[in-house]
Amino acid sequence: MELKKLQQQWNSFPEISMEERPVLSSDLEKIVVKNPLSDAFYLRKKIVLRVALISILWLLNGWQLRLQWMTNGRDLPQLIALFGLLSYSAYFHIRLLFFADYPTLLSLPLVTFLGKLETILDKYILSFKIMSWTAGFYILAAIEYLIYRINTDTYDSLSRNDWYKWLILIFLSVSIDILLLNTLIPRYRKLLITVRKYKEGIHAKAQNK
Amino acid sequence: MNNSTKRSGFDTDLRSLLKHQHRRVYSICRFFTNNYKEHQRLFTDIIAAASQNIRTRRENSDKNILLLRACINMTALHSISQELAPDTDRTLQFKSPDFQKSISGFRETMGELSDYDKFLLFFNFENVATEEIAELTGITPQSRSAQRKKEAITSKKSFNFIPYIKEKLIWS
């Protein structure tokens, strides 16, 4: 590759073309308010939605926990575990949101930017595990409610056997986790691998220079 | 009233800066886009990113550095998106015949280059100072040696409990 020849060709580009036309103020006004990140990279909306949902569930769970505490109910250990999980989940998502700091993300130097993007995607993939455990608790509650409506004796037997409930909970959570691993997670994982490969490629090239 | 005046003044400044510097954005698009649609989309995304960077900037940061960072970061995302869609047509198809001719010749002479080399070439054409390149890419000679040192340490110790916990607690 000849730098001189390249420079000559660079200078020979037409001053004005359909591709490189002067920017109008009216166009700029529309562009400057646009979000530059595509849906694949911009997870803010999804995280905010999750934080809102978790907060509602956390409040409901807190209220239920208070009732069970006062009446010394049977579901107390389960509700305490769910309360802990929801609290951690809220902390994890809020932390991810603050860490990502989308408005300043694109102003970072390239390698730092790619590294941060990699961490965001990695933690977002990890958050699906928390979500599957949370979903496990709620699906178990739905199953319990269904059994209660169908057959009260079966419900009584199930609520007295804590071990069964915990085993069902583990089974449900692991199943949802596997389901997510095969449906939603692959596209984020693929994106994470591509970002990582790209960052490593930049590093390798820079090291050779 | 003061705030709105300040805000509109700031927006005017931003718009005039972008208007003044838009050729730089077109320049980086020449390296990475293959057709008119891609070219226009990347240009719009970079301008939007630059405006976001400048709006949220700290007092001491340089507007030109932020613009160039928007250029290379958005281009990196463009390249990553292209890698995710391997079936996309990569032939050069631009609307303007003059531009098509110039870009075909330029790409032919340039050959197959890595994105990092393209960035360096872009910095060279845009007369970016060598000290600024490290500020834009985040790769300094020190960080390179630190990276090698880190790799040597990780290869020596296969499992170390404390760094494992540290890695889980501190996101970087």
What is the C-alpha to C-alpha distance for residues B143 and B137, in angstroms, rounded to an integer? 11
DSSP string computed for B24-56? HHHHHHHHH--BHHHHHHHHHHHHHHHHHHHHT
Q: What is the pLDDT of residue B67?
A: 94
CA distance A171 to A59: 26
pLDDT recorded at residue B3: 53
Residue range B55-70: average pLDDT? 87
The rounded percent of chain B whose pLDDT value lies above 70 is 79
pLDDT at A45: 96
Q: Does B46 touch chain A (CB under 8 A)?
A: yes
Let me know: does B44 contact B27? Beta carbons within 8 Å.
Answer: no
Q: How confident is the model at residue B5 (pLDDT cuts 50, 70, 90)?
A: low
Q: How far is CA A183 from CA A9, A120, A189, B151, B168, in A?
A: 48, 19, 11, 34, 25
pLDDT for res A158: 86
- CB contacts under 8 A, B 136-155 vs A, are 136-139, 143-144, 147-148
pLDDT of residue B38: 94
Which chain A residue lies closest to B54 (C-alpha atoms)? A107
Q: Round the average pLDDT of chain B to a whole number and report it.
A: 84
Complex ipTM, two decimals? 0.88
Neighboring chain A residues of B53 at a CB cutoff of 8 Å: 104, 106-107
Greater confidence, B31 or A23? B31
Phi, psi for B35 (deg, rounded to 5): -150, 175
Q: Does A1 contact chain B (CB < 8 Å)? A: yes
Segment B131-169, tens digit of pLDDT: 899 999 998 766 666 666 666 665 555 556 676 677 777
User: In angstroms, what separates the C-alpha of A174 from chain B's closest C-alpha?
Assistant: 22
DSSP β-bridge partners for residue B93 = B35
| CB-CB contact of B26 with B43 (8 Å) | yes
Residues of B within 8 A of A17 (CB-CB) are 96, 98-99
Q: Rg (Cα) of chain B, in Å, rounded?
A: 20
**Tally of residues, chain A:** 209
B70 min Cα distance to partner chain A (Å): 6
Mean pLDDT by 10 residues, chain A (209 residues): 85 89 84 89 96 98 95 90 97 96 94 95 96 96 94 88 92 97 96 96 86
Q: At what angle do helices A3-11 and B115-125 cross, to 10 degrees?
A: 60
Contact A177, A132 (CB under 8 A): yes
Q: What is the pTM of this model?
A: 0.88
Do B92 and B107 form a contact (C-beta atoms < 8 A)? yes
Q: Do B136 and A113 touch (CB under 8 A)?
A: no
- The answer to whether the beta carbons of residues B100 and B42 sit under 8 Å apart is no
Is residue B86's pLDDT more than 90? no
H helices of chain B, in order, are 2-32, 36-55, 63-84, 97-110, 115-125, 130-137, 141-156, 161-169
Q: Give residue B18's pLDDT.
A: 87
pLDDT of residue B158: 55
- Residue A87 confidence (pLDDT): 97
Residues B97-113: tens digit of each pLDDT: 999 999 999 999 998 89
For residue B89, the SS3 value is coil
Q: Which residue from B76, B141, B148 is spatially nearest to A196, judged by alpha carbons?
A: B76
The pair of three-digit structure tokens given for residue A84, joined into one six-digit string = 């802990």
For residue A73, the model assigns a pLDDT of: 85
Does the pLDDT value for residue B61 go beyond 90? no
Q: Which amino acid is at A115?
A: G
C-alpha A31/C-alpha B147 separation (Å) is 38
The tokens for A188 are: 């984020």
Contact criterion met (CB below 8 Å) for B76 and B47: no
pLDDT at residue number B1: 44
CB contact under 8 A, B47 and A32: yes
